[in-house]
Amino acid sequence: MSRPIKELLEITIENLQYFQDGLCAWFNTLFLHGLIKGEEYTILTRYMDDNIPSVYSSVDRFRHRKSDYWWKKGDIKPRIKWIKKHIKRNS
């Protein structure tokens, strides 16, 4: 059984040392280190895809649809902000 999204996001934020360049890679590294299960990785990536940052307008979403990154590659700060917002949202 997989853990709630809030717990998975908390695991992510507690493991800053595994951040590389984006959320997907971060989630994948958590999986590779045994901190989350494969199904939890899938849950996190689906949750992420369903919760595109609200700062994006519909034009931005269209423009970024082929990009692998919402924010500048390697910039952890906006990702931490997004994770904390969603931890709170899922509390």
pLDDT in tens, 38-88: 999 999 999 998 998 765 545 555 555 556 777 788 999 999 999 999 999
Closest CA to 18 of 4, 31, 3: 31
What integer pLDDT is reported at residue 56 of this predicted model? Answer: 53
Q: Give CA–CA dist 54/74, Å, rounded.
A: 20
pTM of the model: 0.84
Domain limits at 43? 5-89
- Are 73 and 22 within 8 A, CB to CB? yes
- Which stretches does DSSP call E strand in the chain? none
What integer pLDDT is reported at residue 1 of this predicted model? Answer: 86
Tally the domains of the chain.
Answer: 1
pLDDT in tens, 11-43: 999 999 999 999 999 999 999 999 999 999 999
